[in-house]
Amino acid sequence: MGMIRGELTFPGDKSISHRALMLAALCRGTSDIRNLSTGSDIQSTTDCLKACGIYINNAYAADAAGRPVMVRGGPFQNPKTELNCGNSGTSARLLMGMLAGQGLKAAFRGDFSLSRRPMNRVLDPLRQMGLKAESKNGYLPINIYNSTLKGINYRPPAASAQVKSALLLAALGARGKTTILEPVPTRNHTELMLKELGAEIQMDRGEISLLPLEGKLADFEINIPGDPSSAAFFAAAALIIPGSEIILKNVLANPTRSGFFVQLEKMGAKIEWLDKWQAGAEWTGNLKITAGALRSVQIDKNQIPQLIDELPILAVLATQAQGTTIIKGAEELRLKESDRLRGICSNLARLGAEIEEHENGFIIQGPTPLKGAAIETFGDHRLAMAFTVAGLICSEPVKLDNSSCVDISYPGFFSALKGVMN
């Protein structure tokens, strides 16, 4: 078996990329975005914003010379065509909030997967703010109508950064203050960017308050740190392949996103932040990962939001860790691009792992050797990448039913992996 060696950088964080595009659309002048995510989810947000009259020059996305994507702020217009959010829950939910706040009329749709994901989590509070909308029983397609919004106090029933961000973006165009009380902290990129751009926002132990914008935001320049959710697959590969060592460069180091790396340390992994520095409103850094033995870990509801997208790859690692890994409070995973609890458990069982599926999580007994099998990705990019990494330590080949779905977040995934395999 080869080893994982070398250094890697990653396309910009997907969550920050969506937010950078949307907030730039609310700015006075032209904003420059460097290292925008190359995933097709970001293309969905770009296309939707363009349909609302926003000028975006993304000819240079992922440009080797580092030329920025340029976004010229508003004015917005009612889109004449449907807004196709593709596979992207973040595009659908955040844009719904933002466009509602701008008083626009728009029709949203999405692909097969997105059309099965719950939208009432954003529609309910947006309706409380005054949005007039129609949906197919709480699912896409959804029409929103020109509405005037007012601020509300809201306690989301589930921990969701998408819901929080949708409401904050709506609140920018509402009358009066909006306050959101988070049950468990979720990724805070929207808040950090709004603060950096001078919006009237306050964050205090789970309570976030925002006043509407008086004018427009000032345009900005941003260099988006590498996506830690993409880096996680390479960290995992390096940990389980003996003799490996890799340096993951310029990886976003925001504590609301670093849960995976925190749990790796608890599992006894050799991981080291070589240095960290501030990049605008966020922290970023270089991470060194060295192969070594792992032990099991227990994770509950309060830690889930900080590693929600990394649970598929964490499950793969748990099959190689000594002891019983218990994941609880992860019911939100059933509502992602696919039912990820099912996808993780059914596929790991096929590979010969000892895994038990629960309503809100799973239990894995490790370590077990893995064998090859056909993998059902359900078109889910994170399952496809997690099982590709699992395949590196399987005794026979792993065959994905769909490998192109990695393009949703990381089109360069397979070539990057090839590039560090020695």
> By C-beta, is 16 or 235 nearer to ligand S3P?
16
Binding to ligand S3P (CB under 6 A) within 251-310 occurs at 308-309
Task: State the DSSP H helix or E strand holding residue 339, giving kind and residue range, or none if neither.
Answer: none
Is residue 309 among the annotated active site residues? yes
> By C-beta, is 168 or 398 nearer to ligand S3P?
168
Provide the 10 A C-beta neighbour count for residue 257: 29
Among 187, 257, 340, 381, binds ligand S3P (CB under 6 A): 187
User: Which region, judged by CB under 6 A, interacts with ligand S3P, from 98-106, 158-166, 268-276, 343-351?
Assistant: 158-166
The least distance separating ligand S3P from the CB of residue 241, rounded to whole angstroms, comes to 27
Sheet strands (E) in 66-127:
69-72, 83-84, 106-109
* Rounded Cα distance, 18 and 48, in Å: 11
Task: State the DSSP H helix or E strand holding residue 269, giving kind and residue range, or none if neither.
Answer: none
User: Which region, judged by CB under 6 A, interacts with ligand S3P, from 21-29, 157-165, 206-214, 364-372?
Assistant: 157-165
The verdict on whether omega for the bond into residue 183 sits within 30 degrees of 0, i.e. cis, is no
Q: Of 314, 346, 319, nearest to 330 (Cα)? A: 314
385 to 414: interface string for ligand S3P, x by CB under 6 A = ------------------------------
| Amino acid symbol at 372 | G
Q: Of 421, 397, 320, nearest to 2 (Cα)? A: 421
> By C-beta, is 58 or 186 nearer to ligand S3P?
186
The verdict on whether omega for the bond into residue 228 sits within 30 degrees of 0, i.e. cis, is no
Q: Is the dihedral of CA 46, 50, 55, 59 positive or negative?
A: positive
Determine if 90 is a binding residue for ligand S3P (CB under 6 A). Answer: yes
Q: Which of 309, 339, 380, 401 is catalytic?
A: 309
Among 165, 244, 284, 388, binds ligand S3P (CB under 6 A): 165
Q: Of 75, 131, 69, nearest to 103 (Cα)? A: 131
Determine if 160 is a binding residue for ligand S3P (CB under 6 A). Answer: yes
Among 35, 162, 306, 338, binds ligand S3P (CB under 6 A): 162
The contact set with ligand S3P (CB under 6 A) reads 15, 18, 90, 160-162, 165, 186-187, 308-309, 332
Could you give the residue numbers annotated as active site?
A: 309
